[in-house]
Amino acid sequence: MTYLDPSITIEVDSVVGACMMLRTGIMREVGLLDETFFMYGEDLDWAFRIKQYGWRIVYYADVTVHHYKRAASTRRAIPSIRAFYDAMRIFHRKHYATTTAAPLNVLIEAGITAKELLALGRNLLLPPAARRVG
């Protein structure tokens, strides 16, 4: 939300899954988190589906949550990087691939793979103590 004032409550497309609260009825209607995703992307997929069902997603400025980003992924950086980019592929294939022209799908998949390879390469150039997902 770097482009918005964090002190304003506002409707958004998605929030970080570290602290999502929703009504039980929404879960019954939309379904639970998709277990196809591993560690990344499941919150974005859920938010996408929630909005498809006509519900709103709201960022509440009065709530403070402390999320220790990368706490679960710093000890196994390479598998975490792979999972991060796999989540992008899963999301694209699930929500966009069937309505996107095949040549564009190839470019999207190639772009995700290129970004993944760059992230893995950058990570391997770092000293072991500094290797993180990113």
What is the domain partition of the chain in residue ranges? Answer: 10-59, 74-130
Kindly report, residue by residue over 31-61, the tens digit of the pLDDT.
999 999 988 999 999 999 999 999 999 999 9
For 83, list phi and psi in degrees, rounded to 5.
Answer: -65, -40
**The tokens 């069937």 sit on which residue?**
98
Kindly report, residue by residue over 106-127, the tens digit of the pLDDT.
999 999 999 999 999 998 888 8
CA dist list (Å): 74 to 70, 94, 103, 107:
6, 28, 35, 30
- For residue 134, is pLDDT > 90? no
Amino acid at the residue 94: K
Q: Which of 5-14, 15-24, 67-76 has the highest mean pLDDT?
A: 5-14
Q: Give the integer Cα–Cα distance in Å for 112 and 109.
A: 5
Task: Produce one character per residue of 55-64: b if its CB has 16 or more CB atoms within 10 Å, e if not.
Answer: bebebeeeee
Q: What pLDDT sits at residue 76?
A: 66
